[in-house]
Structure formats: C-alpha cells, structure tokens
Amino acid sequence: MRDEKPSQRASSLNRPIQTRAREVASSFISINPFFTVFLKPAHVLESYLAVPDMKGIFEKKEKYVHVKLQLGERSWNVKLLLSQRFSFGRLSAGWSLFASENELQPGDVCVFELISRDDPVFKVHVFKRQD
C-alpha cells in the first residue's frame, strides 16, 4: 500500500527567510501557486502587506488587481498593487480589515493559495504563532 499524494506540487512564489515560515512553506502541498508570509508587527499595524512578484499570474501592465482573500466561509475584497519596477507587490486597501477581523498577530504565518485566477481568490491558511 502506498501513500496517495498529489501528482503535482506547485512551487512557492517566494522563499521565506524566517525559519518557521520556511518550514510551513516546505510542508504546504497544493497544485495551486502560493506564497508564504511571516507576519511582523508592521504587517498587522500598517495598511499594506508586501507580497512576492506575481509575474506570470497577473499582467504587469495593470497597476492593481482586485482580489478576494478567503478564510473559512468569509471573503474580503483587497486591492493588490502590482509593481512596475520592483519584484514585489502589495496587498493594500482591505488588508488591515482582513488582518484585524481575523486577529492576525506578529509571529503568525500565512499561506496565500491562489485558488482562482479568473476572479482572483487567494485562500488564506493561518498558522498561529507558537509561544
């Protein structure tokens, strides 16, 4: 008897620096593109969250894309700013409401899994900080 695993595994859109985020990213299995963020104090206090480059996911000619962040049965509308010059983007308008309503804290690790490209939806997986 063998273990049934997905035949394909999407690679992460980023390589987290923080050890716990790296561990979460390396054990996360999905056929969808995803990225991992270790939340720092500024991430939950500021009105934006820096995210990796979405090259190949969204057109670079756009300045921003409206996306949904889905957690459980709820979803939040958030603006994803796409950098024309840099290799990162930002979740902006709507991010602070999402962070607040989901009681995100510094030390939490979030995996953002792109489950729909047409009407962009990121399913968010939260791994609460370990004290």
Return the pLDDT at 99.
93
Return the pLDDT at 60.
59
CA distance 33 to 12: 6
Any idea what the CATH number is for the domain that residue 79 is in?
Answer: 2.40.330.10
Does the residue 32 lie in any domain? no
Return the pLDDT at 74.
96
State the DSSP H helix or E strand holding residue 116, giving kind and residue range, or none if neither. Answer: strand 109-116
Q: How many domains does the chain have?
A: 1
Q: What is the pLDDT of residues 18-36, one digit of tens each?
A: 888 888 888 888 899 898 9
Does the residue 18 lie in any domain? no
86 is written with which tokens?
A: 């840099």
State the DSSP H helix or E strand holding residue 131, giving kind and residue range, or none if neither. Answer: none
Q: What is the DSSP string of 63-114?
A: SEEEEEEEETTEEEEEEEEE-SSSSEEEE-TTHHHHHHHTT--TT-EEEEEE
The overall pTM is greater than 0.95: no
Contact 69, 75 (CB under 8 A): yes
Q: What is the pLDDT of residues 48-96, one digit of tens each?
A: 888 887 777 776 566 888 899 999 999 999 999 887 665 678 889 999 9
35 or 6, higher pLDDT: 35
